[in-house]
Amino acid sequence: MQKLISDLQASNFGEIRTNERLAPYTTWKIGGPADCLIIPYSKEQVVAAICFLHERGVPWTIIGRGSNLLVSDKGIRGVVIKLGQALDTLRFDGTTVYAGGSYSFIKLSVLAAKEGLTGMEFASGIPGSVGGAVYMNAGAHGSDVSRILKQAEVILDTGELVVMQAEDLKYAYRHSILHTLPGIVTEAVFELQAGDRHEIAGAMAAYRDRRLRTQPLQLACAGSVFRNPAGGFAAKLIEEAGLKGKRVGGAEISTLHANFIVNTGDATAEDVLALINEVQLIVENMYGIKLVPEVLVMGER
**Catalytic residue numbers, as ranges:** 174, 224, 294
Instruction: Give the count of alpha carbons within 13 A of 210, CB side only.
Output: 11
Q: What DSSP string describes 251-282?
A: EEE-SS-TT-EEE-SS--HHHHHHHHHHHHHH
Q: Which of 155, 300, 144, 166 is nearest to 227 (CA)?
A: 144
Contact of 140 with 224, CB cutoff 8 Å: no
- Could you give the dihedral angle defined by the CA atoms of residues 226, 229, 232 and 237, in that order, rounded to the nearest 10 degrees? -50
Contact of 271 with 225, CB cutoff 8 Å: no
Q: Which of 287, 193, 197, 176 is nearest to 238 (CA)?
A: 287
Hey, is 5 helix, strand or coil? helix
- Could you give the dihedral angle defined by the CA atoms of residues 28, 171, 239 and 301, in that order, rounded to the nearest 10 degrees? -40
d(CA 161, CA 146): 21
Determine how β-strand 76-82 pairs with β-strand 261-263. Answer: unpaired
